[in-house]
Amino acid sequence: MKPPSVATLTRDEAAAELARLAREIAHHDRLYHQQDAPEISDADYDALRARNADIETRFPELRRADSPSLRVGAPASGGFAKRAHRAPMLSLANAFSDDEFTRFFATARRFLGTEQPFALVAEPKIDGLSISLTYEHGRLVAATTRGDGAVGEDVTANARVIATVPQALTPPFPEFIEIRGEIFMAKQDFLTLNAAEAQAGRREFANPRNAAAGSLRQLDARITAGRRLGLFAYALGEASETVADTHWHYLERLRQWGFSVNPYSEALAGESLAAVFQARISEHRGSLDYDIDGVVYKIDDLGLQRRLGFAGREPRWAIAWKFPAEQAMTVLRRIEIQVGRTGALTPVANLAPVNVGGVLVTRATLHNEEEITRLDLREGDTVRVERAGDVIPRVLGMVAELRPAAAAPFRFPDHCPVCGSAALRDPGEVVRRCTGGLICPAQRQERLAHFVSRGAFDIEGLGDKTLAELQAIGLMNRPADIFRLHRHEAELATREGWGEISASNLIRGIAARRSVPLARFIYALGIRRIGQNTAKLLARHYQTVTGWRDAMREATDPASEARAELDNILGIGPAIASELADFFGEPHNTTLLDDLLGEVSVVPEAPRAAGSALTGKTLVFTGTLTRMTRPEARARAEALGARVTESVTRKTDYVIVGEDAGSKARRAAELGITVLSEDDWLDIATDGAVP
Ligand code: IVH
């Protein structure tokens, strides 16, 4: 039943309905956030909140103290509630040199098919944690951490106690807007806080960034209030209307609404001015009261930003030019060998602790055995280490004069240090691998750890120690065993260090993840080279788990049509295809997969832009497009829910033919596939309808 129009409500009716909505929305919040058991769809839930907001707009004086518009979610038991971002929160590509910087914008120009230099906005890159602030009718209704980019943690109560986070925007403002920025702690406040922590016998924070994150993620907002946090606003999420036509103008609007924008932000008329800006800020770095680790350069024109869009998780219109890495010297105490999920033996440097640009470093990656030979590293050597941004520190080299007389060349093991199986290096490969497969506890452990990790099944409570324990007592050998663990709940509860509560929490945590989206499922299998992005591509293409599995089985035959289709998915390519074929060619992998499918349900990938006429269609572009480059056309098609492939097969729905099209256009005609001109394509690209 449709509710009566807000315009016809009397005051009393409105008050009664607001009371009912507050109760109802709180009820659904509890179900969703605390019990993981929503009763209504997200759309229905959004409709309730929208109705509440509409009534409050007409009768602002009736807004209740417990109004849902003043409060978002409910803290999940033992943690924060999760909250989805309307527009995803993404990361940035990095440049470390003038060269990389220049190439980035050259690529953007090629994408757009233009020769013009870009006007840019330069902003210091604040080393804090990003946050998304949602304003409805000008009031702060939610603050969400970045999380995995799609879903973050609801820290609204904490954000409300930060002085530089406006509770209400200065008008005029759009009805709805997500504003993004960086929460940080000033260096001075960090030192004061650490002194107090040390005094109280608590652990100190490693750097201002960690201190800011720890202070924001407090279940008790009073603790956050006692820490001084700052905010610089710098980006836009989703908004109900256009708020600016350039980024510079957007920054101006942010200031008018009441935000702090970093005072060193500057508009640059062209890219060539960036190097000077970079040098100037770099000189200033030490005198700033907060940490920065580079400069973010953004294309000023928001229209161009929209056209450029994103490549994976990174915008094509902004780049972080990082300051050079920090270096230090220390002693290489030992070279340790780790065995990964795919059996790779990775050497890791165990270092005498050393401070590198404000961070205490004790370990560094050594990549592979070749690297050790190349650098002639020996245990006991004095080495130079480098740390750039958030990446794992690396060893640059040793200091020959300081080598102890007794230091012997390092002998890389030819057997797995964990299971003792032979460790072999395939010809042409740099990586040595343990051949123990599933009998190697390290590989099993790492595969299971990957399987339950955040981007995969995301099962809480199955940390490394628990996994190792469950393996040791024979309850967990393969992923499907996780979902059979409930049969052993009583037994677990009696084990030392467990108890009924831990056992039942774990079993509940597992039950909550019995259903999983296809992309996560594929990623969870831990197939070599199949990262989260590739898993998404596969999920989008095959859509259902059985569709994917059957196609992969067929694709083990290199001459099959299924293999050709796989090779042709954009972003997949032959190397990944052959990795998939290898995986599915192993009978024990397919057994493992089918065993797992008996325990979990896999949610099909929804076609991307539901409602577009291209949703779920397969497109091939051929010939030269004159008004849009290939990459832009491709990105646009994918945004409309289509798949783009390289070759024309029976499964192709449309072939878009530019100038000088050759064999693909002929093949389309032979197969009776609809052929569209560039004009047809432009119509679709702009309004999403197929002529
Ligand atoms: S723009 C889609 N601007 O850097 C682009 N990010 O490496 C959104 N950051 O997650 C980011 N200062 O936490 C932008 N002036 C600035 C920034 C900034 C710091 C952080 C932010 C982001 C990360 C990406």
Question: Which residue's CA is minimally distant from atom 10 of ligand 1?
Answer: 91
Cβ(401)–Cβ(464) below 8 Å: no
Residues counted in the chain: 691
Ligand 1 pocket, residue 87 CB under 6 Å: no
Q: Decide the pairing of beta strands 674-677 and 654-657.
A: parallel
Which residue among 89, 182, 209, 254 has the greatest number of ligand 1 atoms within 8 angstroms of its CB, and so is best to mutate? Answer: 182
Q: Can you tell me the distance from the alpha carbon of 267 to that of 285, in angstroms, rounded to the nearest whole number?
A: 19
* CA–centroid distance, residue 477 to ligand 1 (Å): 41
Ligand 1 pocket, residue 123 CB under 6 Å: yes
Question: Which residue's CA is minimally distant from atom 1 of ligand 1?
Answer: 235
The CATH number given to 618-687 is 3.40.50.10190
Q: Can you tell me the distance from the alpha carbon of 594 to that of 479, in angstroms, rounded to the nearest whole number?
A: 11
Ligand 1 pocket, residue 131 CB under 6 Å: no
Radius of gyration of the chain (CA): 28
Residue 310 CA: nearest ligand 1 atom is: 2
Three-state SS string over 536-587 comes to HHHHHHHCCHHHHHHHHHHHCCCCCHHHHHHHHECCCHHHHHHHHHHHHHCH
Question: Which residue's CA is minimally distant from atom 23 of ligand 1?
Answer: 91
Residue 624: per-residue pLDDT = 87
Which residue among 89, 92, 131, 260 has the greatest number of ligand 1 atoms within 8 angstroms of its CB, and so is best to mutate? Answer: 92
* Residue range 577-603, pLDDT digits in tens: 988 998 998 888 889 899 999 999 999
CATH of the structural domain 327-402, one choice from 3.10.129.10, 2.30.33.40, 2.40.50.140, 3.40.50.1100: 2.40.50.140
* CA–centroid distance, residue 130 to ligand 1 (Å): 7
Instruction: State whether the Cα torsion 340-342-343-344 is positive or negative.
Output: negative
Cβ(115)–Cβ(50) below 8 Å: no
Cβ(664)–Cβ(647) below 8 Å: yes
Locate 195 and state its tokens. Answer: 């002194």
Mapped onto helix, strand or coil, the DSSP state of residue 223 is helix
Ligand 1 pocket, residue 470 CB under 6 Å: no
Mean pLDDT by 10 residues, the chain (691 residues): 81 92 84 62 75 86 77 51 90 91 96 95 96 96 90 92 95 97 94 86 78 88 90 96 97 98 97 96 88 95 94 91 88 95 93 82 90 95 83 88 94 94 88 86 91 90 88 91 95 91 92 93 92 88 92 94 84 85 88 92 75 82 84 82 87 89 85 87 70 49
Cβ(622)–Cβ(655) below 8 Å: yes
Residue 312: per-residue pLDDT = 77
Element (H, E) at 181: strand 176-184
Known catalytic residues are 125
CATH superfamily name and code, 437-513: 5' to 3' exonuclease, C-terminal subdomain (1.10.150.20)
The CATH number given to 93-322 is 3.30.470.30
Q: Can you tell me the distance from the alpha carbon of 40 to that of 50, in angstroms, rounded to the nearest whole number?
A: 15
Determine the angle formed by the axes of helices 545-555 and 573-585, rounding to 10 degrees.
Answer: 90
Mapped onto helix, strand or coil, the DSSP state of residue 114 is coil
Locate 579 and state its tokens. Answer: 């990795």
CA distances from 316 to 245, 319, 652 (A): 18, 8, 28
Ligand 1 pocket, residue 294 CB under 6 Å: no
Question: Which residue's CA is minimally distant from atom 17 of ligand 1?
Answer: 125
Locate 618 and state its tokens. Answer: 């397969």
Q: Can you tell me the distance from the alpha carbon of 116 to that of 13, in angstroms, rounded to the nearest whole number?
A: 59
* CA–centroid distance, residue 318 to ligand 1 (Å): 9
φ and ψ of 528, to 5 deg: -55, 140
Domain ranges for the chain: 6-70, 93-322, 327-402, 437-513, 517-603, 618-687
* Residue range 380-432, pLDDT digits in tens: 999 999 886 656 789 999 999 999 999 999 999 999 999 999 999 988 888 99
Ligand 1 pocket, residue 348 CB under 6 Å: no
Ligand 1 pocket, residue 234 CB under 6 Å: yes
End-to-end CA distance of the chain: 36
Q: Can you tell me the distance from the alpha carbon of 627 to that of 517, in angstroms, rounded to the nearest whole number?
A: 37
* Residue range 533-578, pLDDT digits in tens: 889 889 988 989 999 999 999 999 999 989 988 987 777 878 889 8
**Among the listed residues 373, 364, 376, 236, the one whose alpha carbon sits nearest the alpha carbon of residue 306:** 236
Residue 315 CA: nearest ligand 1 atom is: 2
* CA–centroid distance, residue 91 to ligand 1 (Å): 7
Q: Do 327-402 and 618-687 come out as alike in CATH topology?
A: no
Apex CA 593: angle with CA 591 and CA 595, to 5°? 70
Question: Which residue's CA is minimally distant from atom 13 of ligand 1?
Answer: 130
**Among the listed residues 321, 319, 305, 148, the one whose alpha carbon sits nearest the alpha carbon of residue 635:** 305
Residue 320 CA: nearest ligand 1 atom is: 7
DSSP character for 659?
A: B
Cβ(347)–Cβ(412) below 8 Å: yes
CATH superfamily name and code, 517-603: 5' to 3' exonuclease, C-terminal subdomain (1.10.150.20)
Residue 262 CA: nearest ligand 1 atom is: 15
Residue 685: per-residue pLDDT = 75
pTM for this model (two decimals): 0.55
* CA–centroid distance, residue 45 to ligand 1 (Å): 31
Residue 690: per-residue pLDDT = 57
Locate 193 and state its tokens. Answer: 């806080």
Three-state SS string over 239-287 comes to ECCCCCCEHHHHHHHHHHHCCCCCCCCEEECCHHHHHHHHHHHHHHHHH
Ligand 1 pocket, residue 182 CB under 6 Å: yes
The CATH number given to 6-70 is 1.10.287.610
DSSP character for 137?
A: T
* CA–centroid distance, residue 395 to ligand 1 (Å): 28
Q: Can you tell me the distance from the alpha carbon of 356 to that of 479, in angstroms, rounded to the nearest whole number?
A: 39
Contacts of 427 (CB under 8 A, 6+ apart): none
Q: Left, alpha or beta for 18 (phi > 0: left; psi -120 to 50: alpha)?
A: alpha
Ligand 1 pocket, residue 320 CB under 6 Å: yes
Residue 35: per-residue pLDDT = 54
Residue 391: per-residue pLDDT = 62
* CA–centroid distance, residue 199 to ligand 1 (Å): 34
Three-state SS string over 499-535 comes to HHHHHHHHHHHHHCCCEEEHHHHHHHCCCCCCCHHHH
Residue 125 CA: nearest ligand 1 atom is: 12
* CA–centroid distance, residue 316 to ligand 1 (Å): 14
Residue 77: per-residue pLDDT = 34
